[in-house]
Amino acid sequence: MRIDVHAHYFPIDYLERLERVGNGEVATEPGRRSAWASRRADLDARLAVMDRAHVDLQILSIASANPYLSAERHAVDASRAVNDSYAELVRMHPRRFAAFAALPLPHIDASLRELARAIDELGMLGVTVTASIAGKTLTDDAFAPIYREFDARGSVLFIHPAGRACDSPAIVESGASWSLGAPFEDTLCAVQLLQSGFATRYPNIRAIIPHLGARFRFSCSGSITWPRASCRGAGRRASSCANFGTIP
């Protein structure tokens, strides 16, 4: 079976919700560029492309348009809406689609509740997060309760660039926040997680870094100093780094 784990779907009503209640906190323009006028139009085109590429199953995720809103009520409502939308699509085409859930971060207790609902009730395969959340790196201690729950469940964690270009003014001003900035976000996030000991503290989390891991494999070649406990063999071979995988 050929599975595409890096596939995005942007429900128009969800993007409109973010624009209505988000006060500009979540950029919807990248999703707007990829969204179709209707779900039917999206599905027809998507299934045709999947068939041509001999892709049996797509695992859908929301990319950088996660419901990371400062108002907890709006974040919860948005996460439930997009997860329900994904679950409905999976029910319609269970042999062609699965999904990663979105969480109402940075609200930890609410995210734990939505994680349980998404996996236990909706049948999501794991969770998607961005490489930084509300200005915090994924190594921030605030997210430890989420990781402990992921680890207990053996969850898949799909990490996607946030579109922040590692907060580099030079990259942002160049207009290359995605084409240049996103690969650096992938790389920096993976390096930070491994240097923090993430892989040893949470050995049951299966983390996926998209875009072939960007420069991650080169970073593991010896140019970075790795704490001994953070990732056995990281300096020798990227594929030995616990449960971190890299995909297109």
Task: pLDDT tens for the chain, 248 residues: list them.
Answer: 999 999 999 999 999 999 999 888 888 877 777 777 788 888 999 999 999 999 999 999 998 899 999 999 999 999 999 999 999 999 999 999 999 999 999 999 999 999 999 999 999 999 999 999 988 999 999 999 999 999 999 999 999 998 877 778 777 788 877 777 788 888 888 888 988 999 999 999 999 988 766 666 666 555 555 555 555 444 433 333 434 554 55
On whether residue 140 sits in a domain, the answer given is yes
For residues 172 and 78, state if they share a domain: no
pTM of the prediction?
0.85
Helix 72-92 to helix 108-116 angle (10° resolution) is 20
For residues 95 and 153, state if they share a domain: no
Q: Which of 83, 64, 66, 84 is nearest to 75 (CA)?
A: 66
> What is the domain range of residue 203?
131-248
For residues 45 and 151, state if they share a domain: no
On whether residue 107 sits in a domain, the answer given is no
Residue that finishes a domain, picked among 85, 102, 119? 102
For residues 15 and 92, state if they share a domain: yes
Domain count within the chain? 2
Task: Report the residue count for the chain.
Answer: 248
For residues 178 and 96, state if they share a domain: no
E-strand stretches of 22-133: 57-61, 97-101, 126-130, 132-133
For residues 181 and 143, state if they share a domain: yes
For residues 244 and 135, state if they share a domain: yes
Rg of the chain over Cα atoms, rounded to whole angstroms, equals 18
